[in-house]
Structure 1
Amino acid sequence: MDTFFEPRPQPALAVAGAARLYPVGRIFCIGRNYAAHAAEMGNEVDRERPFFFTKSSHHLAASGALLPYPQGTEDLHHEVELVVALGSELRDAGPEDAAAAVFGYGVGLDLTRRDLQARAKDRRHPWDAAKDVEGSAVIGSLTRAEDAGSLEGASIRLEVNGEVRQDGALADMIWSVPELLAYLSTLYTLAPGDLVMTGTPSGVGPLAPGDVAVGTVDGLSTVQVTVSG
């Protein structure tokens, strides 16, 4: 293909125990999937259908990244999440078929310009400027589904500078992973390379220059990011 400039590199994630990378296509982000987090943000949970937004795959950052504090905000927040990576196509699928389409799991940080999000909410505007930001999807190495096993009893946690900020359980998700994938497959043809960030537990809060955030889910690779000035 003859182009006017060099195309951006294909975003990809490492896979634990593998030399090959997982190329990333789309990133779907589920909002308000933990009741306690919805409550702390002053929101009600929609139990009829999941709520979601998207991020560009070019805003992906690998674990260990040194992330410049984003421009245009004075209130950058952390949100630790379980990330689901698709390994096969899904279209109008049921939960059982959706579960079988999972390639693997990871731990991610959805970084949010909270002041911009609050302004958008007040004006009933989209959240793009708050959520779809360079480096705002920090994701650790993926663990294949067969190696991860069942995550039903797993805990999810985030520490900032060694202090626990978020501490929850995946069992507290309102919509399970199969339910989320099945729902998204009624709106999109999901494909290998698509990621789903499944929502965050309560305890979200600000990050400042110099902070080191570490996210964990039992049995998965850790995610870490350092915020620079």
Structure 2
Amino acid sequence: MNKIDITPILNIAVEAGHGILKVYHDPAQDFGITSKKDNSPLTAADQVAHDIIMKGLTALHPDIPVLSEEGADIPYEVRENWPVYWCVDPLDGTKEFISRNGEFTVNIALMVNKEPVMGVIYSPVLNVIYYGSMEEGSFKMIPGGLPERIFVGKETAGWKAIGSRSHADPEEEEVLKGFPVTDKLSIGSSLKFCFIAEGKAHVYYRKGPTMEWDTAAGQAIAVSAGATMLNNLKEKFCYNKPSLLNPGFFCYSS
């Protein structure tokens, strides 16, 4: 596969973020909230971002299929042998979007041989973009600005654990006792992976449930910055499974 330029992908993520903000800031908008099959919420902004990303990625790379949360009804028999594909969450943190706390993101990951090798996460409200690849490392920047290289924290004690604002679990607290944690942070969406990548936090443990598009871009950015990502059995974290539901996972400073 030829090397893919990440710059147009950053632009697509920012464009999708701007589309989300139009819905977010519309005083007449009730967000058009409906429920999906799993009873998770879906808003008009999810669909707006999905359409922008699908159009952009397909125009750039018509030969690379897209697995998006809002277009995930692709049979395993069709996708199981994809050597390369995009894994997309057009609006990660829908509950944060609905509660208007600003902690939602646009997630785009490039998958090669069922592993995330490139990730882009854009926070529309913070107007900050995180991105990374196994070849180049990980970066943070304001769109249009200069990128800043980021790395995981190297501390061996005094770790900060980061967790979900919407999905706290008592069992997660027990597992974190196995790490040198002395402080805790909570934030929504894939920003948790970004905080690991830039050293603001050191361990993110999630019992579940999440989907593959929830973790792919974040894993690429965190691992490219020096983190380790394993499943809850501390084995390799796998993608493009028959079921797109993730097991529990650890993402932590290496």
Higher helix residue share? 2
Question: Which of the five TM-score ranges fits, normalised by the shorter chain?
Answer: under 0.3
Q: TM-score, normalised by structure 1?
A: 0.26
Structure that is richer in strand per residue: 1
